[in-house]
Amino acid sequence: MTEQPTSIEYTSQASELPVVVYSPESPLANPGKLVREVFGDLWRSRELIWILFQRDLKAQFRQSLLGYVWLFLPPVMTTAVWMFLNGQKVIEITDTGMPYPLFVIIGSTFWQTFIKLVQSPLVSFNAGKPVFMKLKVPPEAFIAAGTARAIFEFLIYAVTLIPVFFFFQVVPPWEIVFLPITILSLMVLGTACGLLLVPLGSLYGDIQQAVPVILGFLMYMAPVVYPPPSEGAASAVIAWNPVSPILMSAREQLVSGGMEHLRAMLAVLPCCCLVIFVCLLSLRVVMPHLVARMGM
């Protein structure tokens, strides 16, 4: 006959369980604690982030014959279309300072990554609603997993550049040492824009539907497939577009050399880091209200 655990043993087991304290006090009353909670939860959720990243990546191509080939197609097809239009004189592209196919595929690779980074926080947040609305799981874990997948897809996109560089016999200049900063700026800018959409986008499905349409239009307000014009209203719009210095810096560092746009790009980086920091804290503050509205 087995012995029953004593009350002392029950007390000992209960004391080892985590204690969750709910308080009506606003998290903003203790900003330091709020910061520690947000980034502490991200660190403790690192295994969950990895699991979500693997799950989403496998699910994306589970019933696909071509698999990861679909990741190569967007920049390749964009380059092919614009090469055709330029070759048939449907459009006139001014001198780009490099082979036009190389100009377009670099711009397309970075722009497709920017689109993924903008969309992934909201898409991942909405996909995780059934979980974190019922379980104590930080929603930031789902957002981080989506961002990680966008970064992985950028690495796949970048592979398409290698044969193009060999074909045109282009040797990158020494400025390529600054390329990691350019890539980091792209990641930070796209993530910051995406996080800004999460609060409203989680409540109204129109936001998620509108983002691809708006980004499709904004592609022509950035030097993705053509060099920035030197005059006119489009020149001013492209000059103030925060994506423009990143795209131009990438081309400088990979092909043409020079650091004309590096300073403008470096100005974007700290601003976007601040936006990400504020957005993560704001999301934690408004999360109870979002859950209440989403549960209605």
Structure tokens at 196: 């800004």
pLDDT of residue 191: 94
Residues 6+ apart with CB under 8 A from 119: 194, 208, 211, 212, 215
* Arithmetic mean of pLDDT, 168-172: 85
**To the nearest whole percent, how much of the chain has pLDDT over 70?**
81
DSSP assignment, residue 256? I
Angle at 207 between CA 201 and CA 208, to 5 degrees: 85
- Asked if the model's pLDDT at residue 165 lies above 70, the reply is yes
Residue with the larger pLDDT of the pair 258 and 249: 249
What integer best gives the mean pLDDT of the chain?
80
pLDDT of residue 64: 58
End-to-end alpha carbon distance in the chain: 52
* Arithmetic mean of pLDDT, 264-283: 90
pLDDT of residue 185: 93
pLDDT of residue 237: 84
* Arithmetic mean of pLDDT, 185-207: 89
Q: For residues 84 and 63, is the Cβ–Cβ distance under 8 A?
A: no
* Amino acid (one-letter) located at 237: V
